[in-house]
């Protein structure tokens, strides 16, 4: 009888080989402590959330969150980024034939690819207009990689064009590429991105004019789009109109709407 009673009034905690016996009072105290901690935690979460929502916004994102994104960028762009870190590539057979079309900002204005030239602003007042035939004369590079969109989908796709670093070499843009950023815009300037030049000069970044071995379709950015495997899809601007260089962050469509500027992978 006594034994049963004992079982009712004590709790046995078994940890490894040791056994602890807790009295009812101890169990109650521990329960009170645990519930208090939980309530304090919820209260702290609530006030942090309230404080956060009262903070001003910077480029569409709450300032403290923007600071976190910028801190991540400084770690990823300095410590982890390297031109010899290549994005994984795949055999041609792995590439999908039906490539998803996503995002058509800057592709809705009237546009005749036959009249297109690339506007390359070397320096203010020093602008080149380059035809697609001239771009196709440069060494051709192919890449098959897993294209990733921040919306959560990805697909293995096959692209070809000229490495941006080869383009820079050919057009004598070393000084410009030594600045921190490149800006790209669609011809109507409805979509625009800014990209750090370390990523632009990465050996897998290409000015692309072919998909699956055929000329790029219009909704996929013909005659020329950016393919930059070290970045999320948002930065792979379709239908490039203008390229320019800058030592400050160029305007960026999704950055202005609260997204990360760097968008690295």
CB of 80 to ligand MTE, least distance (A): 23
Q: End-to-end distance of the chain based on CA atoms, in angstroms?
A: 67
Site for ligand MTE in 5-64 (CB under 6 A): none
Of 27, 87, 130, 149, the one binding Mo ion by CB under 5 A? 149
List helix spans (H) across the chain.
2-9, 24-53, 63-75, 132-136, 164-170, 174-177, 197-200
Contact call for residue 203 and Mo ion (CB under 5 A): no
Contact call for residue 106 and ligand MTE (CB under 6 A): yes
Of 94, 102, 154, 246, the one binding ligand MTE by CB under 6 A? 102
Contact call for residue 220 and ligand MTE (CB under 6 A): yes
Contacts of 59 (CB under 8 A, 6+ apart): 66, 255, 256, 258, 261
Of 62, 166, 233, 249, the one binding Mo ion by CB under 5 A? 233
36 dihedral zone (left: phi>0; alpha: psi -120 to 50; beta): alpha
Contact call for residue 205 and ligand MTE (CB under 6 A): no
Contact call for residue 103 and ligand MTE (CB under 6 A): yes
Whichever of 68 and 150 has its CB closer to ligand MTE, that residue is 150
Contacts of 35 (CB under 8 A, 6+ apart): none
Tell me the C-alpha distance between 93 and 144, whole Å: 10
Residues making contact with ligand MTE (CB under 6 A): 99-107, 149, 186, 191, 220, 233-234, 236-239
């Amino acid at each position: 009888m006594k034994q049963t009673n004992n079982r009712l009034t004590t709790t046995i905690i078994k940890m490894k080989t040791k056994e602890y016996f807790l009295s009812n009072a101890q169990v109650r105290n521990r329960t009170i402590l645990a519930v208090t901690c939980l309530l304090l935690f919820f209260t702290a979460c609530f006030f942090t959330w309230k404080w956060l929502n009262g903070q001003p916004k910077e480029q569409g994102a709450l300032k403290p969150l923007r600071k976190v994104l910028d801190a991540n960028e400084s770690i990823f762009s300095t410590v982890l980024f390297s031109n010899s870190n290549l994005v994984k590539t795949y055999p041609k057979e792995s590439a999908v034939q039906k490539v998803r079309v996503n995002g058509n900002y800057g592709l809705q204005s009237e546009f005749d690819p036959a009249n297109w030239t690339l506007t390359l602003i070397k320096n203010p007042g020093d602008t080149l207009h380059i035809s697609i035939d001239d771009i196709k004369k440069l060494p051709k590079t192919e890449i098959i990689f897993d294209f990733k969109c921040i919306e959560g989908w990805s697909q293995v796709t096959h692209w070809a064009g000229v490495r941006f670093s080869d383009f820079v070499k050919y057009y004598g843009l070393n000084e410009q590429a030594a600045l921190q950023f490149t800006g790209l815009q669609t011809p109507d300037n409805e979509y625009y991105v800014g990209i750090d030049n370390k990523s632009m000069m990465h050996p897998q970044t290409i000015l692309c004019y072919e998909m699956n071995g055929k000329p790029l379709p219009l909704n996929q950015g013909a005659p020329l789009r950016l393919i930059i495997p070290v970045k999320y899809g948002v930065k792979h601007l379709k239908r490039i109109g203008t390229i320019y260089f800058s030592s400050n962050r160029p305007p960026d469509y999704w950055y202005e709407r609260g997204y990360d500027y760097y968008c690295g992978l």
